[in-house]
Amino acid sequence: MLLLMVSAAGYLPAQNPGWIVPDDLKSKICPVKFSPEMVKQGEGIYLKNCQSCHGLPTKQNFAAIKPSPGDLSEPRVGTQKDGELFYRISTGKAPMPEFRNILNEDERWSVISFLRSFHKGYVQPDPGKSSSTAGKRIKLLMTYDTAKKRILVKAVELNKEGVQPAKGVGIVLFVQRYFGNMQIADPKTTSESGYAGFDWPRDLPGDKTGNVIVGARESDPTGSMQEAMVIDTLNIGVPTDKPSLTDTRAMWSTRDKAPVWVILIYTLAVITVWYFIIYIILSVLDIRKIKQA
């Protein structure tokens, strides 16, 4: 069992094993009132992303897998707060994927609005009374320590008393790649002085000159849009300039890139054949000359 968990953790996103929702996120509510259009949109997203495991609500046709995904119209789900559903959809739990990178916040809320249409007796909390958790204004600063090969991220809080180091802010370090941002190391929390340090992987490829676009963001398990972020281009990657795959001579390549021995043998063969053709023509001419003479 332990082995299973360890090996699963190798390629599954870091997930909360107990799927416990932090208290401050339980109270998160949808910023807008659920509308029929929203439910309709949510239905479309549900059919595309959720139905393959959870089946259609009330139809009990969920997939026979362990742990059981269950029917989402049941009270087990219906009694949960909006914030809890939002957190669980956002963070996932193996084998359920985390949807914070797949669906944006509005899409996740519309899925919840669709599910709520099956929950009898559900009353949506008034969006006007949203207890926003994003009260703090956090700013991030990033520096690279050349000697220690570490990236230092400093979080500062902007409030009435000015700029102060922000303690206990979760920081995720990432680098930009072609199809998305790649997380470097596990998320860290800022210290008393507002710093979080990350060891830089020395074998990470950069561009031709070794430039890497590095970023740090405030980690929010639900992936809110308001989180603080800093992005910078640093010359700390391994310079990577691998030749194009068609640069080397190969049997399968085009004429210009054929192996030298193929070109040589082919040319020799053509010359030999033409040599004999011309030799025969000349011989025939000679025979005619002899005949005339």
Q: Kindly state whether residue 181 participates in binding another protein, applying the rule CB under 8 A.
A: yes
Cβ–Cβ contacts within 10 Å for residue 44, how many?
13
Q: How far is the CB of 5 from another protein (least distance, A)?
A: 10
Q: Kindly state whether residue 70 participates in binding another protein, applying the rule CB under 8 A.
A: no
Segment near another protein (CB under 8 A); pick from 91-99, 105-113, 117-125, 160-168: 91-99
Angle, nearest 10°, between helix axes 82-91 and 105-116?
130
Q: How far is the CB of 168 from another protein (least distance, A)?
A: 25
State the Cα angle at 31 between 128 and 75, rounded to 5°.
Answer: 100
Cβ–Cβ contacts within 10 Å for residue 222, how many?
20
| Of positions 68, 79, 101, 209, contacts another protein by CB under 8 A | 101
| Of positions 117, 211, 224, 253, contacts another protein by CB under 8 A | 253
Segment near another protein (CB under 8 A); pick from 24-32, 44-52, 76-84, 158-166: 44-52
> What is the contact mask toward another protein in residues 196 to 215, using x (rule: CB under 8 A)?
--------xx-xx-------
Q: Kindly state whether residue 65 participates in binding another protein, applying the rule CB under 8 A.
A: yes
Q: Kindly state whether residue 272 participates in binding another protein, applying the rule CB under 8 A.
A: no
Question: Measured over all CA atoms, what is the biggest interatomic distance in the chain, rounded to whole angstroms?
Answer: 120
C-alpha to C-alpha distance for 19 and 74, rounded to whole angstroms: 18
| Of positions 2, 123, 225, 251, contacts another protein by CB under 8 A | 251
State the Cα angle at 179 between 177 and 181, rounded to 5°.
Answer: 50
Residue ranges in contact with another protein by CB under 8 A: 4, 7-8, 10-11, 13, 48-49, 52-53, 63-65, 92, 94-95, 97-98, 101-102, 177-183, 204-205, 207-208, 240-242, 244-247, 250-254
